[in-house]
A and B are shown apart, each in its own frame.
Chain A
Amino acid sequence: GAVVSQHPSWVICKSGTSVKIECRSLDFQATTMFWYRQFPKQSLMLMATSNEGSKATYEQGVEKDKFLINHASLTLSTLTVTSAHPEDSSFYICSARDDRPFTEAFFGQGTRLTVV
């Protein structure tokens, strides 16, 4: 099946710095990518939806200047957490799908971000 690779799997950064998370579709064209945040033992919370070549659509309450999303190609989307603070520590997950109907989304393995 299709594969979505997310990198890094975990990262520790200092408060005030920025962190970039990459999400790559390895064998299909990801016309749409989704970024989620997941708290322990909770469901996925959608942060934003991005279509290749367009600006991301952010969910209500998600700061677009803090969580910068770039989807410049059909195989890569990035999430940059700017000026990270401890409350941004979380598990971030991306998923991707192509534009064919009735096709599922494929998920990355997630990135554990810890801000100290």
Chain B
Amino acid sequence: AQRVTQPEKLLSVFKGAPVELKCNYSYSGSPELFWYVQYSRQRLQLLLRHISRESIKGFTADLNKGETSFHLKKPFAQEEDSAMYYCAPPNNNDMRFGAGTRLTVKP
């Protein structure tokens, strides 16, 4: 069963514009949520995790249990943010990723 949904496969914004990458999950337990990023020709790497409520490269993500969402946000997108973003499945032992969202930040 699909555990995580990223409704937008492609997202394009201009530099300096706000950006929000959506992620909705379905899980009956306590979710362990992460965002991963894959820059061009690089390996996937962790961007941030919900448990630490951190801000990495200007990105934040708030866990909304009522809406079962973990949207990724950045107030001012930069060109170097262009990448593939994956919201990880909420069960850390079930690593079936969703489709991901390809973000393009135009100059």
Contact = CB atoms under 8 A, between A and B. Distances in A.
Interface of A: 1, 32, 34, 41, 43-44, 46, 49, 59, 93, 95, 97, 101-105, 107-110
Contact of A104 (B43, B49, B93, B96): B49
Nearest to A34: B95
B73 to A, nearest CB: 20
Contacts of A103: 92
A107 B44 contact: yes
Contacts of A102: 32, 49, 51, 92
Secondary structure type dominating chain A contacts: loop
Given A43-B98, A101-B32, 7 more contacts: A44-B100, A46-B97, A49-B95, A59-B96, A102-B32, A102-B92, A107-B44
Contact of B44 (A46, A95, A97): A95
A72 to B, nearest CB: 20
Given A41-B102, A101-B92, A102-B51, A107 B45 contact: yes
8 contacts: A43-B97, A44-B44, A44-B86, A102-B32, A102-B51, A102-B92, A103-B92, A105-B92
Interface of B: 32, 34, 36, 43-46, 49, 51, 84, 86, 88, 92-93, 95-100, 102
A105 B86 CA distance: 13
B8 to A, nearest CB: 13
Contact of A46 (B86, B96, B100): B96
Nearest to A32: B93
With a 10 A CB-CB cut-off, give which of B32, B51, B92 has the most chain A CB atoms.
Answer: B92
B97 A105 contact: no
Nearest to A103: B92
Given A43-B100, A109-B43, A110-B43, A104 B34 contact: yes
B92 A97 contact: yes
